[in-house]
């Protein structure tokens, strides 16, 4: 819609925002009218109309089989559009149009903002299935007529009310029509069922909805007064009411077709099961995060015990082995710490890689520098945990065996994320591989761990090669999910 409005019309930014607000709300008008809606806006030169938005009803058959957005119509071809735009009134005169052997009743509703008519809504009703209307349908149509008059007067939608239409109740979920005093004139079967779940034992018609709702909800002190007003439809608001182990979502829409409030629409939906599932998921997520947090704490305790034991060892070899174990445990703890802060079992591995690099770089402070280029992206916990250990072992191996005593150098970790592959390179500028070295068979415990995890856990490939300018280059190729 933005592109069409800016390309073809002279509307200002504030006007465009109003149209966006209208389009976000007009599914309600379409459903209550049992009709298609097409928004037409005059072009800059005033000689044509351009259709910038379209909505089909959920409550009846469509009258437009094709998409109308982007169509241009010369002024004069549709007199009802001209009359609504020029006179600023709702135009209903005219005989039904025939489209593909289907009779369609056409009406035009001017869209007003700040005293100016910005465009016209063409309301098109498929008359092929018209029958004697029920009380529900009559209430729908009367409410649609009131909303249409409010749009023509510029009093609907409500600028101060930001509604998430994907989560907000719709007409088919449940509808209650109130008079000016907040007394129920009509309640749809779905609406009555929702109130029965709250604990209402009688019919709703004739009851004051605000007071009835407050009586059914648990006592909440001063909040009760606000609930009474909201459920009475005095202002456009949305809330949830909980009682009798049921949760009902309410949305109030004051009706002021001629500037004076004549009543209200209350849309409602039973969200009991939805909220129950959400709470179960929140509890499950909290439990998972707590488990990761405790695992991280336990791993840190194990690392502290190993570090303490290493200090008591007389053998340098034994002390070094324990310190390597400390770093291995630490790399796993980093992953669990990150998982404990997330809502799902996925982590941003770039942060983990940077922390692992800092942890391992402490082996040679000021002598060998380590850095990262590229991005790992988001990885699942099943990949992140073994990959953190692999990265730890490769960095530890490069720092310990790639450089001689006192030798300075650099180690670079490069990551290249593709749609379904992750290519990792760990390259140093040290003394290189020994002659005849076979990375698939030879190597210390660290390389054995790398081979096992890369091939067995990550289903990837692992290779160690001489660097192009000396040193050693390790290449990992891993299958991963899309970025």
pLDDT computed for residue 166 by the predictor:
66
402-419 per-position pLDDT tens digit: 887 778 888 999 999 988
Helix, strand and coil percent figures for the chain, each rounded to 5: 40, 25, 35
pLDDT computed for residue 483 by the predictor:
46
Least confident of 200-214, 323-337, 388-402: 323-337
CB 195 within 8 A of CB 248: yes
Least confident of 217-221, 298-302, 358-362, 385-389: 217-221
pLDDT computed for residue 366 by the predictor:
67
pLDDT band at 372 (very low <50, low <70, confident <90, very high): very high
Residue 131 has pLDDT above 80, yes or no: no
Half-sphere exposure in the Cβ direction for 470 (13 Å, CA)? 7
pLDDT computed for residue 163 by the predictor:
64
Residue 15 CA to residue 225 CA, distance in Å, equals 36
Which helix or strand (DSSP H or E) is residue 311 part of? helix 272-311
Q: What are the structure tokens assigned to 97, written together?
A: 């149009």
Task: Name residues whose C-beta falls within 8 Å of residue 144's C-beta, 6 or more positions apart in sequence.
Answer: 29, 32, 33
φ/ψ of residue 329, rounded to 5: -65, -40
Residue 273 CA to residue 256 CA, distance in Å, equals 34
Which helix or strand (DSSP H or E) is residue 138 part of? helix 135-153
Number of H helices, E strands in the chain: 12, 18
Indicate the pTM of the whole model: 0.65
Radius of gyration of the chain (CA): 34
419-457 per-position pLDDT tens digit: 889 999 999 988 888 777 777 776 677 788 888 889 888
Q: What is the mean pLDDT of residues 239-247?
A: 90
Q: What percent of the chain clears pLDDT 90, i.e. is strictly above it?
A: 47
Task: Name residues whose C-beta falls within 8 Å of residue 7's C-beta, 6 or more positions apart in sequence.
Answer: none
CB 241 within 8 A of CB 213: yes
115-129, 313-327, 401-415, 468-482: which is most confident: 115-129
pLDDT computed for residue 256 by the predictor:
94
Comparing C-alpha atoms, which of 368, 355, 372 is closest to residue 401?
A: 368
CB 16 within 8 A of CB 5: yes
- Which residue bears the tokens 């991005």? 375
266-306 per-position pLDDT tens digit: 999 999 998 888 888 777 777 777 887 788 888 888 888 88
Q: What is the DSSP letter of 171?
A: G
457-480 per-position pLDDT tens digit: 899 998 888 887 788 999 999 998
Comparing C-alpha atoms, which of 105, 119, 175 is closest to residue 146?
A: 175
pLDDT computed for residue 324 by the predictor:
79
Question: β-pairing, 102-113 with 116-126?
Answer: antiparallel
Q: What is the mean pLDDT of residues 212-230?
A: 77
Q: What are the structure tokens assigned to 401, written together?
A: 């065996």
pLDDT computed for residue 39 by the predictor:
97
Task: Name residues whose C-beta falls within 8 Å of residue 218's C-beta, 6 or more positions apart in sequence.
Answer: 242, 243
Residue 225 has pLDDT above 90, yes or no: no
φ/ψ of residue 162, rounded to 5: -100, 115
Q: How many Å from the N-terminal Cα to the C-terminal Cα in the chain?
A: 30
The average confidence (pLDDT) of the chain is 88
Which helix or strand (DSSP H or E) is residue 319 part of? helix 316-339
Q: What are the structure tokens assigned to 474, written together?
A: 């390790």
pLDDT band at 28 (very low <50, low <70, confident <90, very high): very high
52-104 per-position pLDDT tens digit: 999 999 998 888 888 999 999 999 999 999 999 999 999 997 788 888 788 88
pLDDT computed for residue 475 by the predictor:
92
pLDDT band at 159 (very low <50, low <70, confident <90, very high): confident
CB 33 within 8 A of CB 123: yes
Residue 172 CA to residue 398 CA, distance in Å, equals 66
């Amino acid at each position: 819609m933005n592109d069409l409005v800016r390309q073809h019309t002279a509307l200002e930014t504030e006007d465009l925002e109003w149209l966006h607000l209208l389009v976000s709300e007009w599914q309600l008008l379409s459903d209550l009218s049992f009709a298609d809606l097409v928004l037409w806006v005059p072009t800059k030169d005033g000689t044509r109309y351009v259709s910038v938005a379209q909505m089909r009803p959920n409550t009846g058959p469509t009258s437009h089989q094709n998409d109308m957005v982007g169509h241009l119509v010369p002024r004069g071809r549709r007199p009802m559009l001209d009359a609504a735009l020029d006179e600023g009134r709702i135009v209903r005169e005219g005989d039904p149009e025939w489209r593909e052997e289907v009779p369609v009743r056409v009406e035009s509703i001017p869209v007003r903002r700040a005293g100016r008519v910005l465009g016209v809504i063409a309301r098109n009703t498929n008359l092929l299935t018209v029958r004697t209307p029920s009380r529900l349908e009559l209430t729908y149509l009367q409410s649609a007529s009131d909303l249409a008059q409010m749009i023509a007067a510029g009093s609907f939608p409500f600028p101060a009310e930001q509604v998430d239409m994907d989560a907000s109740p719709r007409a088919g979920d449940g509808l209650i029509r109130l008079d000016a005093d907040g007394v129920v004139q009509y309640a749809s079967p779905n609406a009555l069922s929702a109130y029965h779940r709250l604990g209402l034992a009688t019919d709703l018609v004739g009851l004051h909805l605000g007071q009835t709702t407050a009586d059914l909800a648990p006592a909440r002190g001063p909040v009760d007064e606000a609930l009474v007003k909201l459920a009475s439809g005095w202002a456009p608001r949305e809330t949830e009411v909980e009682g009798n182990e049921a949760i009902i979502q309410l949305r109030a829409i004051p009706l002021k077709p001629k500037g004076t409030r004549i009543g209200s629409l209350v849309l409602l939906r039973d969200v009991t099961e939805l909220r129950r599932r959400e709470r179960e998921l929140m509890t499950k997520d909290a439990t998972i995060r707590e488990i990761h947090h405790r695992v991280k704490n336990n791993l840190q305790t194990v690392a502290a015990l190993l570090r303490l034991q290493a200090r008591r060892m007389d053998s340098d070899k034994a002390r070094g082995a324990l310190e390597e174990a400390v770093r291995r445990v630490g790399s796993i703890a980093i992953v669990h710490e990150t998982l404990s802060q997330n809502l799902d079992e996925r982590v941003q591995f770039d942060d983990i890689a940077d922390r692992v690099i800092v942890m391992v770089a402490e082996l040679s402070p000021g002598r060998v520098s380590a850095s990262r280029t590229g991005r790992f992206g988001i990885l699942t916990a099943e990949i992140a945990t073994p990959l953190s250990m692999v990265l730890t072992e490769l960095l530890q191996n490069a720092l310990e065996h790639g450089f001689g005593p006192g030798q300075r150098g650099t180690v670079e970790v490069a990551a290249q994320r593709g749609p379904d592959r992750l290519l990792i390179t760990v390259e140093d500028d040290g003394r290189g591989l020994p002659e005849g070295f076979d990375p698939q068979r030879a190597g210390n415990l660290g390389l054995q761990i790398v081979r096992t995890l890369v091939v067995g856990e990550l289903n990837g490939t692992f290779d160690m090669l001489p660097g192009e300018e000396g040193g050693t280059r390790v290449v990992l190729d891993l299958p991963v999910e899309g970025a």
